[in-house]
Amino acid sequence: MIMHAPPLADWLVIAPIVLCIVVGAGLLCVRKTVAVHAAIAIAGLVLLVVLDAALLWHVANDGPVTMTMGRWLPPFGISFTVDLLGAVLALVSGIAALAAGLFGLVDVDDSGKRYGFFPFLFLLMAGVSGSFLTGDIFNLYVWFEVLLIASFGLLVLGSEQGQIDGATKYAFLNLVATTLFLIATAYLYAIFGTLNVADIAEKARAMDDTAPLATLGTLYLLAFGMKAAAFPVNFWLPASYHTPRIVASALFAGMLTKVGVYALVRTLVMLFPSERAELAPVIAVVAVLTMAVGAMGALAQSDIRRLLGYVVISGIGIMLVGVAVAGEGGIAGTVFYMAHSIVVMTALYVAAGMAARAVGAPLSITDLAGLYRSHPMLSALSLMLFLSVAGLPPFSGLWPKIMLVRSAIDAGSSWLGAAILVNGLLTTIAVGRVWVLAYWQPAPTPGMRREKPALAIEPGFWTEYLPLIILTGLSVVFGLFPEAMVSASQQAAVGILDPASYIHSVFPAGAVP
């Protein structure tokens, strides 16, 4: 048993998750009283960001932090271990969730709120935070289930036919992926007899050649690749991301695929490095094909939400390059790109939602026009996001791409770097098309193409511009002052490639079982 009292700061490890569950449960109790949702939810999300920031500060100062539940000794108790990778991603997703929560206040109507938008949002965040913070692989599976169930709820929030259709595809394919994850985990338990990540990391290095770890690595690659929407198992994403309320799309596009990439980094890079090296050619091909599919799909679509869905996919391809190349630069690039992608993809969906509300038209680039003239502020923010997602300076997409291209060239696979650059060009064209057609092109003169729509709603500051400004501002800060983020992701990469400090935090002073 653990006899010493954990310092109060260590409680930060589980604080974000407990907060999300408690606030979510509280909101569930007052589900029908829509009037109180806004205050509780926004206060909860602000507190979540504060707790995540405090946790990041704690981890950055004191190294990985562990709390093992119920005073059991690891590896028998369930450990929550937070290293820099988990803390950074948890904070960035917390900020994205705050922005989405603010936008959700107006994007989700009262019946959607009664149906439980905010409880689902908090349960989703419990799942996302739990995935980033846990140090136990079965527990990771549990948080995957939590965020999946919450996302099912968010997907059907409106009960339209298209939503049910999208939700069915999403639910079925994601359940296949989590079942694969579960099978792989059962297999892992049979090999190692432990589920604690730190314990596995140590044992895997000791029994490199004696255990069938390649099979295990492949299973995890397939399961998490499916979650991350990597080619050839990416088809569920474009089939479902355009159907829910746009704020739900924003949350999903921001976080869920990134959780898949995070799990891939955690298992393949940290636990099974030599198996990752064997699989590297496969991952590299998958990365390039994912980028290609994403960019081509984005070029072919005219519905903005579908288009953005493909942009998400092409970003996944870029992140996978880091996993394929590995090395400090590659992993650091992936970590930075994940943070960038969480911020920018959430923001892009929020901006698309605002544009659709402002014009009162469906989200097709052939219907939207003249936004530049009617909403210059929104157009300016959108343009920044378009440049950012395409990886152009001075926004956040640039630096992780530089890191990834450079590490690919250093690793001798320049074709991967070239693929990133070509993908950047194609993404620029795809989002440039949106900019030119939906924003820049003057609106048709009244009576020529369509009448003044009745449903146009002027975007408000607190619930629409503010979240967009928060996220775009974060992208600009990452772009203009990248040093902090670069060094954080490099340290996170070092911690992943050499998990000694992670293991030490779980088993201090050689208390290995």
Partner 1 sequence: MMRTLIFRTVAPYLTSLMLVFSVFVLLRGHNAPGGGFIGGLIAASAFAIYGIACGVSPVRRALRLHPTTIAGIGLLLGSVAGLISLFDGVPFMTGLWIYPHFFGVEVPLATVMLFDFGVYLVVTGTITAIALVLEEREGE
CA–CA distance, 138 with 50 (Å, rounded to integer): 28
Q: State which of residues 14, 157, 233, 269 lies at the interface with partner 1 (CB under 8 A).
A: 14
> What is the per-residue binding string for partner 1 in 117-156, x denoting contact by CB under 8 A?
--x-------------------------------------
Shortest Cβ 4–partner 1 spacing (Å): 9
Q: State which of residues 67, 82, 253, 492 lies at the interface with partner 1 (CB under 8 A).
A: 67
Q: State which of residues 12, 16, 24, 397 lies at the interface with partner 1 (CB under 8 A).
A: 24
How many residues bind partner 1, per CB under 8 A? Answer: 23
Shortest Cβ 83–partner 1 spacing (Å): 19
Cβ atoms < 10 Å from Cβ of 168: 14
The CA distances from residue 248 to 152, 196, 198, 256, 479, in Å, are 10, 32, 34, 11, 26
CA–CA distance, 402 with 417 (Å, rounded to integer): 9
Q: Where are the alpha helices (DSSP H) in 193-301?
A: 197-206, 213-228, 236-240, 246-251, 257-264, 273-300
6 lies in the site for partner 1, by CB under 8 A? yes
Q: State which of residues 18, 186, 377, 511 lies at the interface with partner 1 (CB under 8 A).
A: 18
CA–CA distance, 18 with 107 (Å, rounded to integer): 27
Shortest Cβ 5–partner 1 spacing (Å): 4
Interface region with partner 1, contact rule CB under 8 A, candidates 28-36, 214-222, 442-450, 474-482: 28-36
Interface region with partner 1, contact rule CB under 8 A, candidates 61-69, 144-152, 315-323, 503-511: 61-69
Shortest Cβ 340–partner 1 spacing (Å): 32
Shortest Cβ 152–partner 1 spacing (Å): 14
- Contact predicate 404/417, CB 8 Å: yes
Q: Specify the residue for token string 């050649």.
A: 209
69 lies in the site for partner 1, by CB under 8 A? yes
26 lies in the site for partner 1, by CB under 8 A? yes
Q: Please enumerate in sequence order all residues whose Cβ is within 8 A of that of 104, keeping only pairs 6 or more positions apart, or say none.
A: 41, 117, 118, 121, 245, 247
Shortest Cβ 14–partner 1 spacing (Å): 5
- Contact predicate 364/304, CB 8 Å: yes
Q: Tell me 81's DSSP state.
A: E
> What is the per-residue binding string for partner 1 in 70-89, x denoting contact by CB under 8 A?
xx------------------
The CA distances from residue 396 to 217, 317, 370, 480, in Å, are 31, 17, 27, 8
Q: What number of H helices and E strands is found in the chain? A: 22, 2
Interface region with partner 1, contact rule CB under 8 A, candidates 63-71, 147-155, 170-178, 445-453: 63-71
Cβ atoms < 10 Å from Cβ of 76: 14
The residues of the shown chain that bind partner 1, judged by CB under 8 A, are 2, 5-6, 11, 14, 18, 21-22, 24-29, 31-32, 67-71, 116, 119
